[in-house]
Amino acid sequence: MNIRYTNHAAEELMYILQTGCAEGAKVFFLADEHTQNLCLPRIGSIPAERTIIIPAGDDHKTIATVTRVWKALQEGGATRSSHLVCVGGGMVTDLGGFAAATFKRGIGFTNVPTTLLAMVDAAVGGKTGVNLGGLKNEVGTFRDAEAVIIDTQFLATLDEENLRSGFAEMLKHSLLDSEAMWAQHVNLMLDEPDLATLQEMVQQSIEVKSRIVSQDPTERGLRKALNLGHTAGHAFETLALRRERPRLHGYCVAWGLVVSLYLSSTLLGFPTERLRQTVSFVRRYYGVPDVTCKDYETLYGLMLHDKKNADGRLNMTLLQDIGHIALNQHPSKEAIYEAFDFLREG
């Protein structure tokens, strides 16, 4: 996985395009309506055949938007030697990667993630995809970007809520890795983070994910660990979308982590004190989801749609302890409802 850490994204991107693209190959940029103004100017001096702008927001992460990208590539004369540069958050890198992986059976692409969530999660690891029928990432491919440029200077464009959203994935990585990494994360003052420290933590977080992905690129085994918190998290996210009150992905993952750690504690003996500290951190910075016991049946049904399930039962990642991963766990419906109660009421 070609991950490039820099504070000069334009220079790094120019080098990648000059060394990795065939002579005369057409370069296309993809951004959304937010990153068009906030982030593209940092790399806007690089010549491109066309800049494709798509609507912002996860509700536009659809086949209809992919079709717009395909048509723009086609109208711009893109060939199999062309290259797509995806500049934006996870929605842009997921959708752009999918568009590139499928246009003319695959053209090269580079991700330039501009949000914390995209840097530590969406832009790294080779997953691309779009939502379908109200379900997250229902259609997609495994396809690595030619390069991923990590420039934390883009984080200056983020509001507090989006910063917290990205940090939830970092917290997940820390739970998968080690007690030392976890302690650093749950003790960070997330309302006033030191950006130099955060930059170091971003690289550490990406290295955890990259190490797992390199051992299991297509999610046959160990890579399932990265789904910690996501089975319930995606259910919270999908329910919010259906109600037309969308919540950021990282907030839903943070709530999903609480569900997973409660199950880990009751079913596998995950240490109670570490559960308490993690839940305290999540409650402080993410609050609790706007759900009631009347929503449990719907949430559970959404969890059953998770791609990791098999034979009609939940297949979740839990933890015996920090860094001690338990794959392929099958908690009962009753246990899930108890975890929802714990999330809402503590």
Does pLDDT of 74 surpass 90?
yes
What is the rounded average pLDDT for all residues in the chain? 93
Burial of 11 from C-beta contacts in 10 A (0-12 / 13-18 / 19+) = middle
Angle, CA 292 vertex, CA 289 and CA 295 arms, to 5°: 100
Give the number of other CB atoms < 10 A from CB of residue 288. Answer: 14
Does pLDDT of 343 surpass 90?
yes
Total count of residues recorded for the chain? 346
Which pair of tokens denotes residue 205?
């977080």
CA distance 323 to 93: 28
Which helix (H) or strand (E) covers residue 31, if one does?
Answer: strand 27-32
Give the number of other CB atoms < 10 A from CB of residue 330. Answer: 13
The architecture (CATH level 2) of 160-345 comes to Up-down Bundle (1.20)
pTM as predicted: 0.87
Torsion, Cα 202 204 205 210, to 10 degrees, reads: 120
Distance of alpha carbon 32 from the chain centroid? 17
What's the pLDDT score for residue 313? 86
What's the pLDDT score for residue 9? 93
Check if the beta carbon of residue 96 is closer than 8 Å to that of residue 131.
Answer: no
What's the pLDDT score for residue 23? 83
Closest of 201, 40, 7 to residue 116, by C-alpha: 201
CA distance 39 to 28: 16
**Per-residue DSSP letters for 127-169?**
EEEEEETTEEEEEEEE---SEEEE-GGGGGG--HHHHHHHHHH
CA distance 147 to 17: 10
What's the pLDDT score for residue 158? 87
What's the pLDDT score for residue 306? 79
Q: Cα dist. 344→23, 75, 223, 338 in Å?
A: 57, 50, 29, 10
What's the pLDDT score for residue 199? 85
State pLDDT tens for residues 48-67.
999 999 999 888 999 999 99
Give the number of other CB atoms < 10 A from CB of residue 71. Answer: 11
CATH tag, 3-157: 3.40.50.1970
Check if the beta carbon of residue 208 is closer than 8 Å to that of residue 228.
Answer: no
Check if the beta carbon of residue 333 is closer than 8 Å to that of residue 282.
Answer: no
State pLDDT tens for residues 297-307.
999 999 998 77
State pLDDT tens for residues 82-122.
999 999 999 999 999 999 999 999 999 999 999 999 999 87
Question: Where exactly are the structural domains of the chain?
Answer: 3-157, 160-345
Q: Which residues contact 199 (CB under 8 A, 6 or more apart)?
A: 152
